[in-house]
Amino acid sequence: MKIDENLNRLDATTNRTRKYISYFTRNFMTDRLIMILIILVFLGIIAVIVVLCLGQGNREYVVIR
């Protein structure tokens, strides 16, 4: 039965392909998460630098009681 053999071989190949796709998808999402976290760290550093530079001339503090 050549048709059964071909279907079994096709099914095995499909399962292997699904495993590869899920593996690469997990790696891609992990890399994307790391890149997003690195960008957030850089934006935080830039925000701190901007706040410190803009805050140098203004030393008045407002106390609300």
pLDDT the model gives residue 57: 54
Contacts made by residues 24-33, CB under 8 angstroms, sequence distance 24+: none
3-state secondary structure 3-58: HHHHHHHHHHHHHHHHHHHHHHHHHHHHHHHHHHHHHHHHHHHHHHHHHHHHCCCC
Residue 30's domain spans which residues?
1-65
Q: What is the pTM of this model?
A: 0.54
pLDDT digits (tens, 9 = 90+) for 12-44: 899 899 999 988 888 888 888 899 999 999 999
The number of domains in the chain is: 1
Task: Flag whether pLDDT at 56 surpasses 70.
Answer: no
Cα 2 → chain centroid: 46
Structure tokens at 62: 């407002």
Structure tokens at 32: 């994307």
